[in-house]
Structure 1
Amino acid sequence: MEFILTLDKSLFYFINSFLSNSFFDWLMPIVTSQKNWNPIYIFLILFLIIKYKKNGLIISILLILSVGLTNLIGDEIKHLVGRLRPCRSLENLHLLVKCGPGKSFPSLHAANNFAMAVILSYFFRKNSWIFFSLASLVALSRVFVGVHFPVDIIAGAILGSLISIIFIKLSQKLNFSKIKNY
């Protein structure tokens, strides 16, 4: 376990400090900010419902349920594990955003974005590379700006993905699997 934590810390410093440059220092705080994504998520839900009618509503409900459950479970894990954020536990880091008061493990930004990527990829397979690229970019931004360790984003990605897979399997049992893949 000590080896993993040491590797995690080394990877954190590599991403957070070594990869730092003026372009990423400008871009990553924008990418990581939830307030920048919320209008996009609202637009996505409305777009799905308007364009795909009943199917879009079902996809939207699956997105909301998977993100909601991911938040609930992820928040409980954060309290159980109690890992401090790197911006609260490390020195000499490159902090680009305000260091939040919450715990670090798992990253809920990563969890939520991977939860959405899995659901959207299931229904829109041709575009799955876009969904997973965006989820990965948001997850990586959390390390880059100094508020999460790499293990936090990996755990978040796994958590969000697993919860969405469960919702997909449940939707198949309820015959929502007949929804057309676009």
Structure 2
Amino acid sequence: MFHFLYSIDVNLFYFINHSLANPVFDKFFVFITDVNHWYITYIILWFIVFLKGGKIGKIAAIGSIFLIVASDQFSSAFLKNLIERIRPCNQLPDVRLLVGCSGSYSMPSSHAVNNFAIAVYFYRIYPKFKWLLLTIASLVAFSRPYIGVHYPSDIIVGAIIGAVIGYIFSIFVLEIDKKFGNKNIETST
């Protein structure tokens, strides 16, 4: 059974990494996967939420710092070392590698964990941004097998773990907000 699932993962990896390859996607996914391109955007958005989001914005902005530290450490420092899955770029032949191949482990994708944690966290607090947040998280996650550094299952597992972590953290923020009497938050999904 494990061999069968692994063969599906490898075939899906090659489909994403080879069959979908084109110059436009190459540039787009290399750009979107590089966290260095996102820092300024993250900082600006963090300050907007903190300064313009009212009480819930301040709580959410501060909570997001703890969320990223927790999700990143849980995936990078704990789960990857527990699972010890070798990256496809270090294991498979003929990988289209569009960035450097890290020697760190592959499962789960920390890009997927962190982006889905933030996406679910903020969409629970600001539901009107649900599709934008989930689309960005999905594109970042999808970029990982496209550029050759993760199996599809790495990003699926990462997305699930990140969504759970983001959901849990959002519960705390919404409870803190409720405790301080802010009744105007819409939490429908």
Q: TM-score, normalised by structure 1?
A: 0.94
Q: Which residues of 2 match residues 103-142 of structure 1 at below 5 A?
A: 103-142=105-144
C-alpha distance in structure 2 between counterparts of 1:154 and 1:100, whole Å: 20
1:87-123 superposed Cα distances (whole Å, 9 cap, x missing partner): 1011101110111121100000011000010011112
Match of 2:69 in 1: 68
Counterpart of 1:41 in structure 2: which amino acid? Y
Q: Which residues of 2 match residues 2-13 of structure 1 at below 5 A?
A: 2-13=3-14
RMSD: 1.6
Question: What is the percentage of aligned positions where both structures have the same residue?
Answer: 37
Contact 1:12 1:150 in 2 (8 A): yes
Counterpart of 1:47 in structure 2: which amino acid? I
Contact 1:67 1:160 in 2 (8 A): no
Runs of 4+ residues deviating >6 angstroms: none
Match of 1:148 in 2: 150
Match of 1:180 in 2: 185
1:30-69 superposed Cα distances (whole Å, 9 cap, x missing partner): 0100101111111111111121133211111222222211
Deviation at 1:165, TM superposition (A): 1.3
Deviation at 1:157, TM superposition (A): 0.5
Match of 1:96 in 2: 98
Match of 2:172 in 1: 170
Contact 1:109 1:139 in 2 (8 A): yes
C-alpha distance in structure 2 between counterparts of 1:66 and 1:3, whole Å: 35
Contact 1:115 1:161 in 2 (8 A): yes
Structure 1: runs of 5+ lacking an equivalent: none
Q: TM-score, normalised by structure 2?
A: 0.90
Contact 2:17 2:147 in 1 (8 A): yes
C-alpha distance in structure 2 between counterparts of 1:61 and 1:101, whole Å: 32
- Count of equivalent residues: 182
C-alpha distance in structure 2 between counterparts of 1:171 and 1:127, whole Å: 17
C-alpha distance in structure 1 between counterparts of 2:105 and 2:38, whole Å: 21
Contact 1:66 1:160 in 2 (8 A): no
